[in-house]
Amino acid sequence: MDTIIKNGLVVTASDTFAADVGIAGGVVVQLGQSLHAEGAHVIDASGRYVLPGGVDPHTHLDSPSQQVVTADDFRSGTVAAACGGTTTIIDMCFQRHGESLAEALADWHRRAAGRAVIDYGFHIVVVDLTDQVEAELARLPGEGIPSFKLFMAYKHGPMVDDLTMLRVLEQARDHGGLVLVHAENGDAAFHAQRRLLAEGKTAPRYHAVSRPPRVEAEATARAIALAELVGAPLFVVHVSCGEALEEVLRGRARGVHVRAETCTHYLYTSEADLDRPDFAGAKYVFTPPPRQPHQQAVLWNALADGALQLVSSDHSVFNFHGQKELGRGDFSKIPNGAPGIEERLIGVYQGVQSGKITLNRFVDLVATAPAKLFGLYPRKGTIAIGGDADIVLWNPAAELTITQAALHHQVDYTLYEGLRVRGLPETVLLRGQVIVEGREFVGRAGGGQFLRRARYPK
């Protein structure tokens, strides 16, 4: 054995037990009491939880969007992820109009290779469905890309029509893929934006007015109906409100195979944040928008009772200065998105602190469920013999006031400035190597590997 983590409390999605963890060649080789190996590096985990590394299945790094590029690239974004206890991400690889999926993926490989410090996979975002692209979709699950993302929003951007959705859903059904959907009615949002701007309503708060819960719920219901018509599984990203959740539950009750996530920011923000002074509300412009405060409890309950499967970050970041500011005088020009890749585990863990979710459910939401849904389990997402030694030593007693200065992302703000939290990741291992120590990154750029993921099971 190269490394032994001693005296910790191992926590998985299903169990909590005192055990030492023996690591060799980057994988877990032994779990048991009083492990010993001559010459092994010993890490003392007394008073710490020993958790599987987080799996964040929804990020946007180095991603062109709305005439700008996200402020975190694969290096800064994955350093921040690692410092937050995440050891795997699945990033959204965007196809451009006229481009093949192979070209899009080659572009994303170039962005990530040599920079990512944790392991990564890609979802393919289908924007322009030609016959050639349809044929590529049939092959991708066998090549380690078993998930296809579609946007029902962003008219004149990546938005696709229902016919495209049906065709992509069929490819997923036939070849072991899973379709992820951004469910907002793009026509309804576009129509409301034009009307509001014509009335001189240009401030950030009108971003939420233009995309009320029904805009999300309608598209959620339609996506589920289309999946039902062709008999395909579906994953709804960033569910933000009870209205959309109701459609997920209704579809599931009819027997549709539909799974869904929410994001950390919906558990903490509300429409009132869009009214922050000096245009600071623009920092809270993401889609779907922040909702009424009562929705936070709806989402926590859904995470606790299994209605929602996981929490992603949807880390899609634009600097306030120079990027978000492009939307002064027109809320529709504020680049959409917010940071959260480092704050995700900490934010969800506060639900354990306050009794909303159990410790095991926390591990499931941030690591195990995403690994299972996206073809990475049991290599990732749990602590088991033969799995990668991606491990977080979590100090449940450590406290922090979240500030921009305490974080590692490259974007110039956090949504959680001033939030007092308890429970932090301290030491992080990626395939047996310590990459974070005392909340500081000690790994190397390019230490992350591309992950070929397994097909979605029928």
Site residues (CB under 5 A) for Zn ion? 314
* Cβ proximity of 61 and 93 under 8 Å: no
Nearer to Zn ion, 91 or 273 (CB): 91
The CB-of-241 to Zn ion minimum distance in angstroms stands at 17
* DSSP conformation class of 290: P
Nearer to Zn ion, 65 or 382 (CB): 65
CA angle 162, 240, 328 (to 5 degrees): 90
Nearer to Zn ion, 154 or 377 (CB): 154
Residues contacting 146, CB < 8 A, separation 6+: 140, 176, 177, 178, 374, 375, 453, 454, 455, 456
Nearer to Zn ion, 314 or 343 (CB): 314
The CB-of-58 to Zn ion minimum distance in angstroms stands at 6
* Cβ proximity of 74 and 62 under 8 Å: yes
CA 352/CA 194 separation, integer angstroms: 43
The CB-of-312 to Zn ion minimum distance in angstroms stands at 8
CA 89/CA 344 separation, integer angstroms: 12
CA 284/CA 272 separation, integer angstroms: 10
Residue of 223, 254, 248 lying closest to 299 (CA atoms): 248
Name the residue with the smallest CB distance to Zn ion. 314
Residue 246 — φ and ψ, nearest 5°?
A: -60, -40
The CB-of-195 to Zn ion minimum distance in angstroms stands at 26
DSSP secondary structure string for all residues of 399-434: EEE--GGG---SSS--TTTT-EEEEEEEEEEETTEE
Nearer to Zn ion, 314 or 390 (CB): 314
Nearer to Zn ion, 56 or 314 (CB): 314
Helix H or strand E encompassing 235: strand 234-236
The CB-of-387 to Zn ion minimum distance in angstroms stands at 27
Nearer to Zn ion, 21 or 411 (CB): 411
The CB-of-301 to Zn ion minimum distance in angstroms stands at 24
CA 248 to chain centre: 19
The CB-of-181 to Zn ion minimum distance in angstroms stands at 11
* Cβ proximity of 267 and 348 under 8 Å: yes
